[in-house]
């Protein structure tokens, strides 16, 4: 028995044990357990992927884990040391799941690169992470070319989906696996070892790396499988639509593996028809995606009623941006129950889930939709609060608006090799999310805006999200973004950028009138600009920075 | 970056960090998080208890947590230091839940005493644990008298359910709470700190203490809430029937608090009618209990059809001893889905849950009942194996029979202040459960027997459990136990001890014939003894040791 203490030295961090320790085993939470469990208990559960050529490849958790172990052995033979980063440049496919598990099993860090980033940013990330090896889909070799000079990987292994010859300096992934040998001894890892990493897209300054640990991944997976409205159970068929290079694939491959659920992967084919084909053919019960994907799926289901037969009770976890209540209702009518979650790269990513509580079970549908249109309450092990500009903690009255802060075992405590953004953490250890929220008395958050997306007009804040949600409820509107543009008198004024539904027509005045019924006059955008489609980031979010740039010099009349 | 190492010294255990640590927050898994979460998110969810006088007391998680915090503050003022043990001698009631949470919030260890033990054993346990304080229900003061001399508690606080005056040397629990003051600072605890403890009933040697940690309790609670067939969700109404002094109350109060589920407590009234009244009135959705409780409930439901209206889909987690398939079927017909779990004091207690896997979804009901009559497969984070007498790991072929061993973050790694039973752990760190099992290719265990309950006849093992299950399927049998008794020729031979259903009649020959249709001739018990009821332990298990003693000198003819 001895006192608890933590102290740091440059080469050693020492933690003394608890004052009165319990008598439980010291069993680390690592992916070695996940691999052992899944291989032993669920070897025949399917893992299914659409390949780049659109064909379907059927495998099983037993085979995927065996290959992941082979990858771990081969990388170790190739010289991987504990903590070394292995980058991936891959679509959602079987080999990518093998990397997600196999690299950490070898003690390495799996680092998925976001293939939709600008080559400069992309190169910076691979070189800042000091990625030693790269696993790349052959169909993505052109993307690799753009950064190869900037990120001198020691070795590049190509997952071959086509018969194209290997480029110079590249090796075959199949040969890598074949080199595994048979006497691999997996390292005994501390649960706080890094297992994977992702970079934030970096709205200010350079992109920042977040290193997930074995512990954080396992705890996040458990939280994703907790009984409620949209958890992952063994019996589920999980469709991991969100790109695996985006915020650790929302944790889906890890949670599906831990629970032994069937996993379906869309490959590069993210159009609504391809997704609907898999939802139907594989009898998907749980999926995920940003709201735009559900807009496209809604439109496809309406355009061709009866073509796809979705599994009754199909649930979808939606995150990435606010989900308009209208879409929630429309999808419910089409047989898909959408659930909000909230999170970001720094939160592994999921921090909240949308649930109707047992104390609200008697509410009518109207009231329940209102709850589900919010962003949910904190997952077990995550703590939330919101604070004003002076750092004062605000009340949960659904009125006070402030920055959301969080803490928990799967929330980042720092960025990898960077102190540039240390102000993202408060002195008392909370992470500043940059999201501006209200919190109601039930602890359910309502995202008012990203702090950078709020429009500041004449000293008053206008929420672009609220205006966008209202516009999306208009029958003619397919998608809408509201941005603040510099204004000579008001500092900033909102304008709406709108894409109409095919065949629909609406005038700017009509939409402004539509909003005027719901908002104060000074909150209604001064102009509506019609476009074919909104520009999107690599992960499907509206690229507001581009819109702000485009309309920076707005011709105020 | 530095190498991982662990070394032990008498006064200091030091752990170096991981080679390449991640960048996640250092957020400890403690009950402080559970209390904060529940108080904030689920203050109005009900906690309901039946009091000793049979009246119903209605409270809420908000009130229970406030009182638990007051208890923590008051105990701290009373001199509680981190790691000090606080014993409870209480039925399942509100004050007991307050102790479960409040004592660990103060950094103390909550130690529920099993009030059904023999006074000698009971006194030994309280004194071996060095319990400083005691929280006792007034209706249990007579039990306390029997051990008070053996366990000199520093202070005794009485939860007063009646108007009886306080005995000399006792103080009132209400006054204790009132002494809390307002400036309590909860200690910052390491997650490996002890939070609660239970003693095993000690089949050989003295009882042994198991110290659960904050970490083990949180992880066990997460596992109990994982989506599947019988998890605890926020929307559930959980009935904690198993006595809270039994294996940490099966974790139910902690899991219900973490998830924000409604909790119902039966007080001392464990008869079938009282339980059924609460199941009906509180609309219970999930409960638990040893198989005997379900035998009594089945009989009551059959005797008075239509009297109780159970919640559709009511689920019950059953453990403690093997569940006869016949009971599983009968309860399903009565609208209650029973699920097996397996565990013991050393496993927090739950290590496995009975589930039908997605790969078995197409099986017919017959085959599914066969699966559910087994004891399930390992929970996430628990690993299982079975070994033969020479310590060789056996194959999962459902034929090889050996001792079940397990490991995981909520499995005991040692006993408190005792090295008497160090042989319970293997050299490679697994816990020897003493249960003899077969494991099928799906990883589902089938408990053949407790190693001490196997009957060894002429060098061959006979499973008492298999014979008991078969006997229980006979329409006239209410309960049955099979034990081995010394035999001049065969070393041991099985005899059956049987209690018939009210009004039923059956002869020994009839039951032996019934068994002979299902077992080899040499496995059929040589005698059947009829009794009114089987002797039970404090937790409702058949007291086989007593039966073996009673029939030790069996008059073999």
Looking up residue A317, the CATH number of its domain turns out to be 3.40.50.12780
Query: Are residues A370 and A477 part of one domain?
Result: no
State yes or no: is B489 an active-site residue.
no
Task: Please report the pLDDT score of residue B202 as a whole number.
Answer: 54
Asked if the Cβ–Cβ distance from A82 to B20 is below 8 Å, we say yes
**Mean of the per-residue pLDDT values for chain A?**
91
Q: Is this complex's ipTM strictly greater than 0.85?
A: yes
Identify which of B210, B361, B409 has the shortest CB distance to residue A27: B409
Select from A184, A241, A193 the least CA-distant residue to A67: A184
Q: For residues B39 and B6, give the distance between their C-alpha atoms in angstroms, rounded to a whole number.
A: 38
**Based on the domain organization, do B86 and B173 belong to the same domain?**
yes
Q: What is the pLDDT at residue B416? A: 97
pLDDT of A204 reads: 55
Interface test with B, best of A85, A227, A354 (most B CBs within 10 A): A227
| Per-residue H/E/C for B349-360 | CEEEECCCCHHH
Q: What is the mean pLDDT of residues B195-217?
A: 87
Cα Rg for chain A, rounded, in angstroms?
A: 24
pLDDT at A395 exceeding the cut of 60: yes
State residue B88's pLDDT score: 98
CB contact under 8 A, B211 and A22: yes
Q: Does A367 reach chain B within 8 Å, measured CB to CB?
A: no
Counts of helices then strands in chain B (DSSP H, E): 15, 27
pLDDT in the model for residue B397: 97
Q: If we measure between CA atoms, which residue out of B513, B499, B494, B508 comes closest to residue B542?
A: B499
| Angstroms from B548 CA to nearest CA on chain A | 33
pLDDT at position B184: 86
With b for 16 or more beta-carbon neighbours within 10 A and e for fewer, the A8-22 pattern comes to eeeeeeebbbbbbbb
A83 touches chain B (CB under 8 A): yes
Same domain, yes or no: B175 and B291: yes
Task: Name the residue among A4, A192, A216 with its Cβ closest to that of B18.
Answer: A192
| pLDDT band of B12, cuts 50, 70, 90 | very low
pLDDT of residue A284: 98
Annotate A12-59 with DSSP letters as a single string. Answer: -EEEE--SSB--B------HHHHHHHHHHH-TTSEEEEE-TTS-EEEE
* Residue A538 confidence (pLDDT): 65
Tell me the chain A residues in contact with residue B80 when contact means C-beta distances shorter than 8 Å: none
* Confidence bin at A244 (pLDDT 50/70/90): very high
Tell me if chain A has a CB within 8 Å of the CB of B130.
Answer: no
Do B24 and A223 make contact, defined as CB atoms within 8 angstroms? Answer: no
Is residue A7's pLDDT more than 70?
no
Split into its structural domains, chain B has a count of 2
- Interface size between A and B, measured as CB pairs under 8 A: 275
| Measured torsion, CA atoms of residues B465, B471, B475, B478, in degrees rounded to the nearest 10 | -70
The Cα A549–Cα B72 span in angstroms is 57
> What is the percent of chain A where pLDDT is above 70?
95
Residues 222-241, chain B, touching A (beta carbon < 8 A): 222-223, 225-228, 231-237
Note the pLDDT of residue B4. Answer: 35
Pick the residue from chain A with its C-alpha nearest to B104: A20
Closest-CA distance, B331 to chain A, in angstroms, reads: 24
Choose one of B379, B409, B430: the last residue of a domain: B379
Task: Give the pLDDT mean for A218-222.
Answer: 98
B11/A19 touch (CB, cutoff 8 Å), yes or no: no
Indicate whether A557 pLDDT > 80.
no
- Confidence band for B538, pLDDT divided at 50, 70 and 90: low
Report if residue A402 sits inside a domain.
Answer: no
- The per-residue pLDDT for range B351-374, each reduced to its tens digit, is 999 989 999 999 999 999 999 999
Residue range B171-178: mean pLDDT, rounded: 98
Residue of A150, A368, A370, A456 marked catalytic: A456
Chain B positions in Cβ-Cβ contact with residue A13 (cut-off 8 Å): 16-17
Nearest residue on chain B to A396, alpha-carbon basis: B40
The reported pLDDT for the residue numbered A119 is 81
The reply to whether residue A409 touches residue B228, judged by beta carbons under 8 angstroms, is: no
* Bridge partners for A298 per DSSP: none
Which among B379, B399, B419 is the end of a domain?
B379
Are A360 and A216 within one domain? yes
Yes or no, beta carbons of A19 and B378 under 8 Å apart? no
Q: Which of A324, A357, A379 is the last residue of a domain?
A: A379
Asked, for residue A216, whether it belongs to a domain, the answer is yes
Q: In the prediction, which pLDDT does B147 show?
A: 86
Q: Is B355 on the interface with A (CB under 8 A)?
A: yes
How many angstroms away from the CA of A238 is the closest CA of chain B? 13
Q: Which of residues 12-41 of B touch A (CB under 8 A)?
A: 12-27, 29, 33, 36-37, 40-41
The whole-number pLDDT of residue A539 equals 62
Stretch A272-278: mean pLDDT: 97
The helix (run of H) or strand (run of E) holding residue A156 is strand A155-159
Write the pLDDT tens digit of every residue in B480-512: 999 999 888 888 899 999 999 999 999 999 999
Within a domain: A67: yes
- pLDDT bucket at A520, cuts 50 / 70 / 90: confident
Domain annotation covers residue A441: no
Q: Is pLDDT larger for residue B150 or for residue B537?
A: B150
Q: Which residue of B has its CA nearest to A1?
A: B11
> Under DSSP, is residue A111 helix (H, G, I), strand (E, B) or coil?
strand
Chain A residue numbers with beta carbons less than 8 Å from the beta carbon of B29 are 381, 409
Contacts of A262 in chain B (CB under 8 A): 358
For range A352-368, the mean pLDDT: 94
Q: Is the minimum CB–CB distance between A44 and chain B shorter than 8 Å?
A: yes
**Looking at the predicted structure, is the pLDDT value of residue A15 above 60?**
no
CA distance to partner chain A, nearest, from residue B41 (Å): 6
CB contact under 8 A, A235 and B361: yes
Q: Which of B531, B526, B486, B490 is nearest to B509 (CA)?
A: B526
Mean pLDDT of chain B: 91
Find tokens 């209390």 and name the residue.
B35
Report pLDDT for B9: 32
Pick A23's closest partner by Cβ from B23, B407, B412.
Answer: B412
Whether residue A81 is predicted with pLDDT greater than 50 in this model: the reply is yes
Instruction: Please indicate, yes or no, if residue A530 is contained in any of the structural domains.
Output: yes
Scanning B129-234, the segments in alpha helix (DSSP H) are 141-145, 173-178, 214-224
Which of the residues B4, B5, B24 would you substitute to probe the A interface, choosing the one with the greatest number of A C-beta atoms within 10 Å? Answer: B24
From the list B25, B383, B408, which residue is nearest A411 (CB)? B25
**Residue A284 and residue A311: Cα distance in Å, rounded?**
6
pLDDT for B13 equals 42
B189 contacts in chain A (CB < 8 Å): 18
**Does A380 touch chain B if contact means CB atoms closer than 8 Å?**
yes
Q: Is the bond into A72 cis (omega within 30 degrees of 0)?
A: no
Query: How far is the C-alpha of B4 from the C-alpha of B18, rounded, in Å?
Result: 6
Q: Are A103 and A239 in a shared domain?
A: yes
Please give the average per-residue pLDDT across A397-406, as a whole number: 95
Rounded to whole angstroms, the Cα distance separating A245 from A223 reads 21
d(CA B347, CA B375): 15
Asked if B150 is an active-site residue, the reply is no
Is B22 within 8 Å of A195 when comparing Cβ atoms? yes
Name the catalytic one among B150, B456, B546, B556.
B456
Domain that holds residue A541: 454-550
Question: B483: left (phi > 0), else alpha (psi -120 to 50), else beta?
Answer: beta
State which residue of chain B sits closest to A217, comparing Cα positions: B24
Report if residue B8 sits inside a domain: no
Shortest CB distance from B82 goes to which of A19, A213, A442?
A: A19
Instruction: Kindly determine whether residue B212 and residue A41, on different chains, have CB atoms separated by under 8 Å.
Output: no
Q: Which residues from A are below 8 Å from B226, CB to CB?
A: 222, 225-227, 231, 233, 259
Do B337 and B471 share a domain, yes or no?
Answer: no
Kindly report, residue by residue over B100-156, the tens digit of the pLDDT.
999 999 999 999 998 877 788 888 999 999 999 999 999 999 999 988 888 889 999
* DSSP per-residue codes, B252-316: HHHHHHHHT-EEEE-BT--SHHHHHHHHHHTT--EEEE-HHHHHHHHHHHHHSTTS--PPTT-EE
Same domain, A465 and A345: no
Domain shared by A341 and A486, yes or no: no
Average pLDDT value for residue range B58-86: 97
**pLDDT confidence tier of residue B205, bands split at 50, 70 and 90:** low
Instruction: Evaluate if residue B210 carries a pLDDT over 50.
Output: yes
CATH number at residue A545: 3.30.300.30
Radius of gyration of chain B (CA): 24
CA distance linking residue A250 with residue A348, whole number of Å: 7
User: Which two tokens mark B549?
Assistant: 């003693």
Active-site annotation holds for A200: yes
Q: pLDDT value at position B465?
A: 82
Q: Is A171 exposed, middle or buried (0-12, 13-18, 19+ CB in 10 A)?
A: middle
Segment B231-247 shows an average pLDDT of: 94
pLDDT over threshold 70, residue B203: no
From A25, which residue of chain B is nearest by alpha-carbon distance? B413
Whether B493 is in a domain gets the answer yes
Q: Decide if pLDDT at A224 tops 70.
A: yes
Say yes or no for a CB contact (<8 Å) between B17 and A13: yes
Tell me the C-alpha to C-alpha distance, in Å, between residue B232 and each of A309, A371, B33, B256: 31, 22, 18, 7
Mean pLDDT of B306-333: 90
Same domain, A332 and A238: yes
At which residue do the structure tokens 């929330």 appear? A411
Q: Do A416 and B23 touch (CB under 8 A)?
A: yes
Residue A209 in any domain: the answer is yes
The rounded distance, in Å, linking the Cα atoms of A439 and A404 is 9
Paired strand residues for A353: A341, A377
Closest CA to B41 of A384, A406, A368, A322: A384
Chain A interface includes B407 (CB < 8 A): yes
Considering the domain architecture, whether residues A374 and A464 belong to the same structural domain is answered as no
Statement to judge: residues B363 and B463 lie in one domain: no
Mark whether B320 and B232 lie in a shared domain. yes
From chain A, the residues in CB contact with B380 under 8 A are 37, 222, 225, 258-259
pLDDT in tens, A167-209: 999 999 999 999 998 888 889 999 999 999 999 865 456 889 9
User: How confident is the model at residue B8, as a pLDDT?
Assistant: 34
Q: Per-residue pLDDT for A366 more than 90?
A: yes
Is position B461 annotated as part of the catalytic site?
yes
B7 part of contact set with chain A, CB < 8 Å: no
CB contact under 8 A, B226 and A210: no
Whether A24 sits inside 8 A of B361 (CB atoms) is no
């Amino acid at each position: 028995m001895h006192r608890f203490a933590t102290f740091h030295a440059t080469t050693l961090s020492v933690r003394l044990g608890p004052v009165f320790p319990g008598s439980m085993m010291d069993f680390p939470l690592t992916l070695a357990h996940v691999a052992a469990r899944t291989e032993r208990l669920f070897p025949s559960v399917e893992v299914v992927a659409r390949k780049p050529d659109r064909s379907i490849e059927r495998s099983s958790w037993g085979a995927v884990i065996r290959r992941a172990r082979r990858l771990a052995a081969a990388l170790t033979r190739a010289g991987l040391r504990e903590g070394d980063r292995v980058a991936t440049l891959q679509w959602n496919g079987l080999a990518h799941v093998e990397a997600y598990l196999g690299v950490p099993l070898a003690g390495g860090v799996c680092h998925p690169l976001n293939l939709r980033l600008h080559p400069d940013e992309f190169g910076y990330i691979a070189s800042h992470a000091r990625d030693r090896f790269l696993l790349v889909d052959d169909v993505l070799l052109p993307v690799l070319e753009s950064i190869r000079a900037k990120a001198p990987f020691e070795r590049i292994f190509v997952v071959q989906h086509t018969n194209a010859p290997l480029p110079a300096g590249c090796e075959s992934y199949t040969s890598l696996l074949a080199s595994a040998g048979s006497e691999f001894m997996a390292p005994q890892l501390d649960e706080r070892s890094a297992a994977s990493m992702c970079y934030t897209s970096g709205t200010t300054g350079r992109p920042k790396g977040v290193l997930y640990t074995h512990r954080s991944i396992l705890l996040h997976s458990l939280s994703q499988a907790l009984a409620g409205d949209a958890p992952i159970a063994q019996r589920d068929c999980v469709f991991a639509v969100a790109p695996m290079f985006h915020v650790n694939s929302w944790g889906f491959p890890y949670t599906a593996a831990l629970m032994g659920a069937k996993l379906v992967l869309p490959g590069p084919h993210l159009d609504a028809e391809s997704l609907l084909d898999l939802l139907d053919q594989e009898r998907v019960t749980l999926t995920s995606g940003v709201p735009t994907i559900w807009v496209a799926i809604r439109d496809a289901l309406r355009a061709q009623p009866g073509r796809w037969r979705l599994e009754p009770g199909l649930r979808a976890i939606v995150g990435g941006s606010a989900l308009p209540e209208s879409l929630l209702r429309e999808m419910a009518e089409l047989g898909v129950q959408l659930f909000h979650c909230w999170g970001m790269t720094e939160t592994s990513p999921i921090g909240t889930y949308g649930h109707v509580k047992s104390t609200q079970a008697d509410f009518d549908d109207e009231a329940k939709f209102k709850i589900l249109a919010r962003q949910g309450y904190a997952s077990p092990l995550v703590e939330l609060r919101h604070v004003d500009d002076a750092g004062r903690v605000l009340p949960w009255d659904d009125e006070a608006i402030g920055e959301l802060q969080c803490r928990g075992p799967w929330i980042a405590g720092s960025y990898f090799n960077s102190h540039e953004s240390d102000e993202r953490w408060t002195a008392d250890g909370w992470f500043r999310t940059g999201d501006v929220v209200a919190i109601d008395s039930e602890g359910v958050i309502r995202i008012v805006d990203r702090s950078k997306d709020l429009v500041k007009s004449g000293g008053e804040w206008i929420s672009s999200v609220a205006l966008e949600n209202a516009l999306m409820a208009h029958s003619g509107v397919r998608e809408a973004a509201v941005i603040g543009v510099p204004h000579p008198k008001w500092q900033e004024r909102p304008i709406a950028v709108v894409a109409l539904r095919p065949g629909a027509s609406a005038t700017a005045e009509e939409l402004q009138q539509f909003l005027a019924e719901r908002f104060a006059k000074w909150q209604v955008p001064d102009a509506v600009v019609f476009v074919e489609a909104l520009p999107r980031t690599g992960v499907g979010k509206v690229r507001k920075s581009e819109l702000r740039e485009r309309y920076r010099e707005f011709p105020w009349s």
